[in-house]
Amino acid sequence: YSKKSGAYRMKKFFMKWGIWTGLVALSLLPLWDLMHPGLPITHDGQDHVARIANFYQSLSEGHVVPRWAANLNWGYGHPILMFLYPLPSYVASAFHFVGFSLIDSTKLVFAFGFIASMLAMYLWITSAWGVAAGITASVLYAFAPYRFVDLYVRGAIGEHMAFVFPPLICYGLLLLAKEKNHISAGALTVISFGTALLILSHNALSLMFLPLIGLYALYLAAQETKSPARFIMIGAVGILFGFLLSVFYWVPGFFEGKYTLRDIVTAGEFTGRFVPWFSFLYSPWSYGGGNELSKWLGAGQILALGLSFFALEKNTKHRRFIIVCMLLLFFSLFAMTANSAPVWNAVTLLQKFQFPWRLMSVTVFLIAGIGAFVVYIAPEKSRRWTALILVIVSIFGTIPMWRAKEYKVFPQSYFTGIYNSTTDTGESSPIWSIRFMEKRPEALAYMVPLAGTINVGERSTTLKVYRVNVKEPARFVESTLYFPGWQVFINGSPLAIEKLIFQDPTYRGLMTFDLTPGDYDIRFEFGETKLRRISNYLSLGALALFVVSIGTIRLLWRKKE
């Protein structure tokens, strides 16, 4: 056919969308097990549903940025929503809003993350190196054993969602590099929102991936664009917008973490989580704890690495790319082994990752790129066969991993009511409290001694109202943990913070204060601190500025055209 003919264009259209449809169909195969009724029993899955239930409840009360989980921690409340990746909870809340149960909404987030990550990798690599390389990379990226560890063993919803965005950001950078004469509004949008969503998906993984994305930007500046300085500047602006758009989450999470047990609970946790070198070549599939998890790179992934050494013999302009990727891969593997213990002890930032084997996320990303390069530089006659072999080996090597250990059916009320856990390892607990509460409170509020009456009024996730009659001096105890943002109003006047007692070990970080005889209207309200308000305004301002900037860019280039 002539390339200008309608038949040719029709053929290309069906081929293009046929591949996309095929990839979606392929991605559904390992997700089929999620159709089983109930919740897959994973390390964190049950707690994620409880957290999402609290997140949705806060959203339904009008809090655009939920920060306080009122029903967690045996009903004493918990600030966990401030510190752990909100994007999966927003997506799950959208599914729940349209009618899905909390469990099904959580399962849909896992399914969405898996499919979207596969398509994002295909979009990026196909744009760079062609269809065969794109298909190979997408399969290596999705059908890696660690991806199924996250899905069916750990139930790590944040990490699972985060896999969507690194290839998407790289695609945006590639689009930007290909624009020779003007700024691409589309590329800037992908870079900015991709960065923001990566941070909102998982804070630790964003710290792992952003340096790799920065190195890819430098590679593009050197190889793909005639104006490296201009490209770097615009790309940096896009990344900066991403940080500003997500500042409502990461700034309070970072700076107010000092009010939690984070540094105490996580200190030294990495020491017992290193991975033996041989486990990368093979470790059996397991549903056990962190040290028992399979750290196997995968059959197709190891094959791709083997073929990459032959690729190094070819002197192409992309040779430096594969060398850098292999060095980064070696470093990420090294950082997961006990040989790197001195580095972990010296670099405190690494300790925020908690588990060295979390760097498996980086290895999955790097090997997908390496495998795509192998296919890209293969002779044209063998390119499709190379891609097909890598795809088949990757898929068939993971088939035994496409299922959860078991499923359990829970009533919805199990997650919407009081939940006997914090849904994390206790690192987000207020520093004035203990790591985990031990039993549910006997009353919503009480007095010591019992010297009067307490009538309960309006209640929500962030509001507790009481009408109190006190007959003799007493300590009023609210069965809610204190965290910055809580304020107490007595008869309409705010209680001075120095009179709010929350460091008394007798009451385990609960909000208490002294009352003299009389009648009182008491309100406990949880609101934004000054830092949170500033962060919210910065994010809103960044969004407004971004919309104006994109509109201006489109208008200017439309006039020039």
Per-residue pLDDT at 554: 74
Which pair of structure tokens corresponds to residue 381? 């006659």
The backbone region for 222, taken as left when phi is positive above 0, alpha when psi lies in -120 to 50, beta otherwise, is alpha
Q: Name which residue leads in pLDDT, 290 or 236.
A: 236
Whether 116 shows a pLDDT value over 50: the answer reads: yes
How far is 115 from 146, CA to CA, in rounded Å? 15
Per-residue pLDDT at 469: 96
Q: How far apart are the first and last CA of the chain?
A: 32
Whether 2 shows a pLDDT value over 50: the answer reads: no
- What's the mean pLDDT in 292-311? 92
Distances (CA, A) of 393 to 31, 125, 301: 19, 20, 9
Whether 269 shows a pLDDT value over 80: the answer reads: no
Which pair of structure tokens corresponds to residue 156? 């790590």
| Nearest CA-CA partner of 115 in 196, 26, 44, 195 | 26
Which pair of structure tokens corresponds to residue 350? 């690494």
How far is 164 from 326, CA to CA, in rounded Å? 22
**Residue 453 phi, psi dihedral angles, 5° rounding:** -125, 150
Average the pLDDT over each of 79-88, 403-412, 420-429, 441-450 and give the range with the smallest value: 420-429
Please report which confidence band the pLDDT of residue 13 belongs to, taking 50, 70 and 90 as the band edges.
low
How far is 70 from 202, CA to CA, in rounded Å? 22
Query: Do residues 165 and 121 touch, judged by C-beta distance below 8 A?
Result: no
SS3 label, residue 430? strand
Whether 208 shows a pLDDT value over 80: the answer reads: yes
- What's the mean pLDDT in 249-277? 88
Please report which confidence band the pLDDT of residue 505 belongs to, taking 50, 70 and 90 as the band edges.
confident
Tell me, rounded to whole angstroms, the distance of Cα 530 from its chain centroid: 26
In this structure, the strands spanning 474-481 and 486-490 are: unpaired
Computed over every residue of the chain, the mean pLDDT equals: 91
Sheet holding 474-481, edge to edge: 445-448, 474-481, 510-515
* Ordered DSSP codes for 272-326: G----THHHH------S-GGGS-----HHHHHHHHHHHHHTTS--TTHHHHHHHH
Residue 266: other Cβ atoms inside 10 A: 16
Whether 12 shows a pLDDT value over 80: the answer reads: no
How far is 219 from 232, CA to CA, in rounded Å? 10
Whether 36 shows a pLDDT value over 50: the answer reads: yes
Four-point Cα dihedral 164, 165, 166, 168, nearest 10: 100
- What's the mean pLDDT in 126-137? 95
Per-residue pLDDT at 7: 59
How far is 65 from 58, CA to CA, in rounded Å? 8
If DSSP states are collapsed to H, E and C, what string results for 146-212? HHHHHHHHHCCHHHHHHCCHHHHHHHHHHHHHHCCCCCCHHHHHHHHHHHHHHHHHCHHHHHHHHHH
Per-residue pLDDT at 1: 47
Tokens 């033996």 belong to which residue? 276
